[in-house]
């Protein structure tokens, strides 16, 4: 997936003329630093501050979502590519399944707190 597409057999057309640009070094470094910062913030909040439990949870979730976007933009090249928008379709399906997993787990498990 990097510079040389892992020897993908390409129907004998030989050369990879339509080589897509896979981002610059600058973008990767920015993405890397942002990821580290976004990971350190929750750690600091948990270990170094006296924020309330809800505040901590909200901070962690927010940082996680921003981190997800950073990964998509800087490493997964979500803005690139032409043709059918496979990546957008896949993301929507992925998002849908994540929502199903989280929401229904809360729903399924909430009965536990009702009976206790």
The residue ranges that bind another protein (CB under 8 A) are 1-4, 6-14, 86, 93-94, 97, 100-101, 105, 107-109, 111-112, 114-115
Residues constituting the chain = 116
What CA dihedral angle connects 83, 87, 88 and 92, to 10 degrees? 150
Minimum distance from residue 59 beta carbon to another protein (Å) = 21
Minimum distance from residue 114 beta carbon to another protein (Å) = 7
When the beta carbons of 10 and 37 are compared against another protein, the nearer one is: 10
Quote the DSSP letter at residue 19.
P
Helices (H), 1-116: 25-48, 53-70, 86-115
Minimum distance from residue 16 beta carbon to another protein (Å) = 10
Distances (CA, A) of 13 to 2, 3, 17, 66: 20, 18, 10, 41
Minimum distance from residue 86 beta carbon to another protein (Å) = 7
When the beta carbons of 37 and 101 are compared against another protein, the nearer one is: 101
Round to whole Å and give the CA distance between 32 and 14: 34
When the beta carbons of 48 and 108 are compared against another protein, the nearer one is: 108
When the beta carbons of 15 and 79 are compared against another protein, the nearer one is: 15
């Amino acid at each position: 997936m990097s510079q040389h597409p892992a020897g993908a057999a390409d129907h004998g057309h030989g050369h990879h003329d339509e080589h897509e640009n896979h981002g610059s070094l600058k973008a990767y470094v920015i993405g890397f630093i942002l990821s580290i910062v976004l990971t350190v913030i929750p750690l600091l909040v948990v270990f170094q501050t006296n924020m309330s439990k809800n505040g901590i949870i909200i901070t962690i979730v927010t940082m996680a979502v921003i981190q997800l976007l950073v990964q998509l933009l800087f490493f997964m090249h979500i803005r690139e590519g032409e043709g059918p928008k496979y990546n957008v379709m896949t993301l929507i399906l992925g998002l849908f399944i994540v929502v199903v997993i989280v929401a229904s787990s809360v729903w399924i498990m909430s009965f536990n707190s009702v009976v206790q």
